[in-house]
Structure 1
Amino acid sequence: MSPWLARRWYDCVFWSSFVGFGFGHSLRVIGRKNMPESGPVLVIANHQSYLDPVLVGLASRRYLAYLARESLFRNRFFKGLIESLDALPIDNKGLGKEGLQGTLSLLNRGKCVLVFPEGERTPDGEVHPFKPGISLLIKKNAAPIVPVGIEGAFAAWSRFKKTPSFSPLFLPPNPATIALSVGEAIDPNQLRNLSREESIAFLQQKVQIEFQKARQLKRK
């Protein structure tokens, strides 16, 4: 698939997904200027919903590759769909060797890659501890790291709902039903001299800060 056609397909899938699954939900984003317009970028975000890859893709305005649960690749149709969007499979234990190598390969090709360091969707809407596997990626990564906070997607489609929530028909959605905050890019060299625990804590704090910004934005 040519780069132009791949981009058009990507835009079509992402926008139709947001319209289809997020009908009746408004979206507000701050910090778009913080996302580098080109070159490799490692995006880390809190994980609230199935909608998160779509939301971050719309917020970043970059062609976004991401990691997805291995079980999602067992459905033939869905496998073809998410592979066409540069999704990489990871097991339930986290990033793993193959996920790490795949992510680094995408970054080396200049891609913008989305990772959810929590490893799974939140059970309560809050940011939960990052999995240790993210430290391996941090150690080998040379790309800028952009933290993103997501708020409102949990209410729209939590892990406990089979289908997304919708606003009442013919009524306007609440202001900023879903909000995202894109933080300033982090130079990976800042993490070189930190221990594994320190680097994980540092990045989790950055995502937590953006999450709080998104929460404030949602309430405006």
Structure 2
Amino acid sequence: MIYTLLKFFSKWFFRFMGNPGIKGMRNIPHAGPVVIAANHSSLLDGFLLAAIWPQRITFLAAAYLFNSPAVGAILRAVGAIPVQSGGNNLAEKKTALKVLQRGDVLGLFPEGRIYQSDKLGPFNLGWAYFAINSGASIVPVVIKGTSAMMPKGKFFPRRAKIYIQIGAPWRIEPTLTPKQESYPAMNKRLNAGRATLVQEAIQNGS
């Protein structure tokens, strides 16, 4: 119920604030499990993904955000999973894997923190762990413009144009004994794909 209300509010909020340009909606899988791997330049990114994604998303969020009265209350209400710095908490991983085992959508921002521009930061390997242990489809997403709408440290948004580029999904077969060298290879593939998405987002925004 809370998630539905949040999705409804977010849709109208972004429509009023700039009506995002979206490319690649056809790339969204009709059925899960799905891992969304998106860049992160504003606290608005999660609300934006919830607004446009057809299925409900369970987000991984930095544990410190749960200490904020307002943000923490929203994260708990929508069932977000807190992640400690380093991402090595076994209980957190099990909870996230259960989301994928149900065939649902897991949303995460592999950069691990908010970058204050549309430039992409390096991706951590956590997303690859979930994908390779669940067989989920990986959907790369590039978001451009939320850093202008609400920069890091600001609490009042301003109108700005936002562009979202959704890449084609890909997956690998799950394995009980994934090789460690598989993770960097997957990360390299994802980074190459999102670099292409960035260029497409820039062209769409020009």
> TM-score, with normalisation over the residues of structure 1?
0.80
Q: How does 1:97-176 map to 2 (within 5 A)?
A: 97-166=90-159
Conserved 8 A contact 2:32-2:137: no
Structure 2 gap ranges (5+): none
Render the CA deviation track for 1:15-43: whole Å, top value 9, x for unaligned: 32454577432211111111112221111
Q: C-alpha distance in 2, partners of 1:162/1:68?
A: 18
**Residue identity in the other structure for 2:186:** S
Q: C-alpha distance in 2, partners of 1:136/1:28?
A: 31
Identify the match of residue 188 of structure 1 among 150, 160, 172: 172
The residue number in structure 2 matching 1:203 is 190
The residue number in structure 2 matching 1:172 is none
The residue number in structure 2 matching 1:69 is 62
Conserved 8 A contact 2:11-2:52: no
Conserved 8 A contact 2:132-2:174: no
The residue number in structure 2 matching 1:39 is 32
Q: CA deviation at 1:182?
A: 1.1
Q: C-alpha distance in 2, partners of 1:211/1:58?
A: 21
Q: How does 1:5-84 map to 2 (within 5 A)?
A: 6=1, 9-17=2-10, 19-20=12-13, 23-75=16-68, 78-84=71-77
**Residue identity in the other structure for 1:124:** S
SS at match of 2:191: helix
Render the CA deviation track for 1:78-137: whole Å, top value 9, x for unaligned: 444322312100123346433322211111112111111111111332111111333432
Q: How many residues align?
A: 203
Structure 1 gap ranges (5+): 1-5, 168-176
Render the CA deviation track for 1:50-87: whole Å, top value 9, x for unaligned: 11112122222211111112122234664443223121
The alignment status of 1:212 with 2:199, answered yes or no, reads yes
The residue number in structure 2 matching 1:178 is 162
The residue number in structure 2 matching 1:174 is none
> TM-score, with normalisation over the residues of structure 2?
0.85
**Sequence identity percentage:** 26
Q: C-alpha distance in 2, partners of 1:121/1:22?
A: 23
Question: Aligned-pair RMSD on alpha carbons?
Answer: 2.6
